[in-house]
Structure 1
Amino acid sequence: PELKPIQKESEVSLRFPDNFEKLSPPILQLDEVEFYYSPDQPLFSGLNLSADLESRICIVGENGAGKTTVLKLLMDELTPVSGVRQAHRNLKIGYFSQHHVDQLDLNVCAVELLLHKFPGRTEEEYRHQLGGYGITGELAVRPVASLSGGQKSRVAFAQMTMPSPNFYVLDEPTNHLDMETIEALAKALNKFKGGVILVSHDERLIRLVCKELWVCESGNVRRIDGGFDEYRDILQEQFKKEGYL
């Protein structure tokens, strides 16, 4: 049999479709939100946050500071104890987390995965969607179990973007991704015409994408304009505490 050249993971370019109409603000906000899992351990009070389709926000904070809780409040997966979440009626959020990668059905191939989730399209459409994330040729028809960690993440990206969301919430999206794929992800997020909120410990991704930092600490979220460089010290201090540096 003819040996096919190994497709390097680094030859990847990602694309986030943005064929949606512009939404006029307000797009997404939390007003005076209080939240706790148990009344004797308040997590947040007086939380005021807002995001729009221009947002490129990175949430940082120590483990246990409530980063994922903030994401879930924004996505309406958790209900505030008091205060209000407001969202534009046409807001469509795409959510990525390691949990989604771990939940992929390992026994089917990537094409079947999309077919089950979004029935009624042609095989060509599913392949085209996967191809936008570097899952091409026989990679698309191999059992998901046989794919590398990075490839599984890319299948999860393909699945997340298929309904064309106008806003992405990404929780630690760079686990298992090589450097080239992280750069491709940053490029795709920068080109994307919708909003982006991410939780990440990846200095490269934050530096390339982030225009605003939300720092989670002691029951509040502090909003800071600007990117990684202005707040390098805050971030590096935080990453050190958590053992990422």
Structure 2
Amino acid sequence: MRVLVVEDDVKMSGLLKRGLAADGLVVDLARDGELGLEMARSSEYDAIVLDVMLPGRDGFEVCRALREDGVWAPVLMLTARDSVDDRVRGLDTGADDYLTKPFSFVELGARLRALARRGPIERPATITVGDLHLDPATRGVRRGDVEIELSPKEFALLETFMRRPGRVLDRYALLEHAWDYGYERRSNVVEVYVRYLREKVDRPFGVTSIETVRGAGYRLRRDGGAVA
């Protein structure tokens, strides 16, 4: 199992290398975020250990850049800061796990082995279908460079479509993913909100992305929209 450790503190990086090597792992070291990015892009790693407090580009920025570059090796972030906001930010930028210093090497090794078993599964922080982009963390939506304002329910419905491009979703599947059980299943709420979405993400741009599949439901085109 080959692991990349991105840590600027010389003493800590040495401890990490020795501790993980004693656990049978092959460890490469990078002392800053830029070098870590370069190494992760050029070599295949089973997991990446990424310190949050790096000089220049911090660990959050490095993790986001890795995902944007299509590097899907599992990432475990290390930090001395134990705030909920930091953990949330790390996970939202594409990290898979989070460990607070000081930590046990036994636990670190076990977490890395668990991450390696998952493998490099694509899980981008931002969902993109064609030129339509959705960021679940910031609740932001844009087509190309144009920001689109959506209500919470419109956002939930669009996210449901964008996580399943090309798939036909019937009204019950859409209700299950975007509404709670308080909604009347026989109402036309799905049809109403699909119409709202089309008015915001399609019509102003002269495209058709959300298609009606007669007798079956709705589908988001894989290309994110065709010229109407």
* Interval containing the TM-score (normalised by the shorter chain): under 0.3
Please identify the structure whose Cα radius of gyration is greater.
2
Bigger share in helix = 2
Comparing both chains, which one has the higher relative contact order based on Cα–Cα distances under 8 Å and sequence gaps of 6 or more?
1
